[in-house]
């Protein structure tokens, strides 16, 4: 409702502005960009992993841009609220936002009836972090490899219970992907975040948990939790002892990626400038060191490549969804 009226106002103001200043607006605007603080929309709460990355990034980007970046948290609906705000913001370069793949590209079809944005309204800028999925068990668990787990499920489907962080989220999709590869059905339990799931795993209340590497790394390094598999092409540094799924014969790739995007329609000059700034920050060794410390693996994908990355993932997941929806309709 609010979004609509804002849109109306934007259209009106835009029409009046174009009528008044004619053609010179965009290039003149781009020339002195940025001339006021830039708003960075984070679609998750303050203090979470997306927020932490955004704030560290903002610190470096401010130096590059010479202008303040105000991080604004607009959490809700698993990120959707923030992305609706991003999609509806003025495309003048003064609003940018973080998008989280794969969830940003699945909502338009899994929530087809109600979703408040479409991928056409958001133009991806650059991916920064790709945090691979991890399947882990507690250190005293009988399962040493994926094969052990699969054998146990085949023996008694009810004996293995795996946690994920919300249906339709990246963890759930990763576990489903694995189940399909292995030809088994898994019993799931939903947890609200890594903390509760880890407590339940360590307490022996569930048999395994599916989460992200950055969250599980500390527990794995401490030896309380054993990683069964990391869903990446090759092993990842902070938990190099954990084999990939591929090594064990289950070719599953799953990760949560975090990158930046702008509202569609941002002037090309502004887009290029933001892209250059992002590149400078991501390639800054100090920024990389901070990300390292947080166990967040950098995976830089810039500009058109990132747009393709999001679109490919969208198409792949959509065809999977159409074949076998993971949320019953």
Partner 1 sequence: MDVLLPALGNVMAPMALLTLLLGTLAGMTIGALPGLSSTMGVALCIPITFSMPPELALILLGAVYVSSVYGGSVTAILLRTPGTDASIATALDGYPLAEAGRGGEALGMATLGSLFGGLFSVIVLIAIAPPLSTVALAFGPQEYTVLAIFGLVTIVGVASDRPLKGVLSAAVGLVLATVGLDAFTGVQRFTFGQSELFEGVPLLPVLIGLFSVSQAFNLCVPAGGGVLTSKEQKLKGRGLPLWHDIRRSLRTMLRSSVIGSVVGILPGAGTSIASFISYNEARRHSSTPERFGKGELEGVAASESANNAVTGGTLIPTLTLGIPGNAVTAVFVGGLTIHGLIPGPSLFTHHAETTYTLILSLLFANVLFAVLGLWLCRYLVVVTKVPGAVLGPMILVFSVIGTYALRNAVFDVWLAVAFGVVGYFMERWRYPAAPLVIALILGPILEVNFRRSMQIAHWDLTTFFTRPLSLTLCLLVVLAVAYPLWIQWRRRKLQR
Partner 2 sequence: MTLDTIDRGVAMLMGVLCGVVVVVGLGMRGDAGLFPAIAGTLGLLACLGIGLDTLRSRPPDELPPTLPWQRFTVWSLCILGLLGLMVTVGTFVALPLFLLTSLRWLGHLRWAAALTIAITFSALIYVVFVHLLTVPLPAGWLVD
- Applying CB under 8 A, which residues contact partner 1? 2, 45-49, 51-52, 55-56, 59, 71-78, 80-81, 84, 110, 113-114, 116, 158, 161, 166-168, 187-193, 195-196, 198-200, 202-206, 218-219, 221-222, 224, 290, 293-294, 327-328
Nearest residue (CB) to partner 2, 9 versus 316: 9
Binding partner at 243 among partner 1, partner 2, none, C-beta below 5 to 8 Å by kind: none
User: CB 73 → partner 2: shortest distance, Å?
Assistant: 10
Antiparallel, parallel or unpaired: β 187-190 and 122-138: unpaired
- Cis ω before 219 (30° cut-off from 0): no
Measured distance CA(160)–CA(162) in Å, rounded = 7
Binding partner at 81 among partner 2, partner 1, none, C-beta below 5 to 8 Å by kind: partner 1
Nearest residue (CB) to partner 2, 164 versus 226: 164
Binding partner at 39 among partner 2, partner 1, none, C-beta below 5 to 8 Å by kind: partner 2
User: CB 44 → partner 2: shortest distance, Å?
Assistant: 17
CB 98 within 8 A of CB 41: yes
Nearest residue (CB) to partner 1, 75 versus 243: 75
User: CB 194 → partner 1: shortest distance, Å?
Assistant: 9
Binding residues for partner 2, per CB under 8 A?
2, 9, 13, 39, 70, 72, 328
CB 50 within 8 A of CB 42: yes
User: CB 265 → partner 2: shortest distance, Å?
Assistant: 18
Helix (H, G, I), strand (E, B) or coil at 160: coil
Q: Residue 271 CB: number of other CB atoms within 10 A?
A: 18
CB 264 within 8 A of CB 143: no
For the record, the structure tokens of 196 come out as 């509760």
Binding partner at 70 among partner 1, partner 2, none, C-beta below 5 to 8 Å by kind: partner 2
User: CB 202 → partner 1: shortest distance, Å?
Assistant: 5
Measured distance CA(77)–CA(64) in Å, rounded = 33
Nearest residue (CB) to partner 1, 246 versus 318: 318
CB 289 within 8 A of CB 56: no
Measured distance CA(301)–CA(309) in Å, rounded = 8
Q: Phi and psi dihedrals of 226, rounded to 5?
A: -110, 125
Binding partner at 13 among partner 1, partner 2, none, C-beta below 5 to 8 Å by kind: partner 2
Nearest residue (CB) to partner 2, 37 versus 249: 37
Nearest residue (CB) to partner 1, 164 versus 244: 164
Nearest residue (CB) to partner 2, 13 versus 151: 13
Instruction: List the beta strands (DSSP E) in 28-173.
Output: 38-42, 69-73, 95-101, 122-138, 161-164
Nearest to 203 by CA among 217, 187, 215, 191: 191
């Amino acid at each position: 409702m609010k979004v609509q009226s804002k849109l109306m106002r934007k259209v009106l103001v835009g029409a009046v502005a174009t009528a008044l200043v004619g053609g010179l607006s965009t290039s003149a605007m781009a020339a002195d960009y940025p001339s006021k603080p830039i708003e960075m929309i984070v679609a998750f709460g303050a203090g979470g992993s997306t927020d932490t990355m955004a704030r560290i990034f903002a610190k470096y980007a401010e130096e590059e841009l010479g202008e303040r970046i105000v991080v604004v948290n607009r959490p809700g609906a698993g990120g959707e609220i923030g992305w609706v705000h991003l999609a509806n913001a003025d495309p003048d370069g003064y609003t940018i936002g973080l998008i989280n793949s794969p969830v940003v590209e699945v909502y338009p079809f899994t929530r087809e009836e109600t979703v408040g944005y479409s991928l056409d309204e958001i133009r991806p800028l650059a991916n920064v972090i790709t945090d691979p999925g991890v399947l882990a068990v507690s250190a005293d668990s009988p399962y040493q490899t994926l094969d052990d787990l699969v054998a146990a499920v085949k023996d008694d489907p009810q004996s293995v219970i795996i946690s994920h962080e919300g249906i339709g989220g990246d963890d759930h999709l990763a576990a489903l992907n694995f189940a399909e590869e292995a030809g088994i059905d898994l019993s799931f339990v939903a947890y609200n975040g890594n903390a509760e799931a880890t407590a339940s795993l360590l307490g022996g209340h569930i048999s395994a948990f599916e989460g992200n590497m950055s969250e599980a790394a500390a527990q794995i390094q401490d030896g309380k939790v054993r990683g069964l598999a990391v869903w990446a092409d090759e092993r990842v540094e902070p938990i190099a002892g954990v084999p990939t799924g591929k090594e064990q014969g289950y070719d599953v790739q799953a990760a949560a990626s975090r990158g930046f995007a702008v509202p569609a329609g941002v002037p090309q000059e502004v887009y290029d400038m933001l892209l250059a700034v992002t590149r400078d920050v991501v390639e800054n060794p100090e920024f990389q060191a901070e990300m390292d410390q947080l166990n967040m693996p950098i995976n830089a994908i810039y500009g058109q490549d990132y747009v393709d990355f999001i679109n490919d993932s969208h198409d792949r997941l959509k065809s999977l969804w159409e074949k076998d929806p993971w949320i019953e309709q």
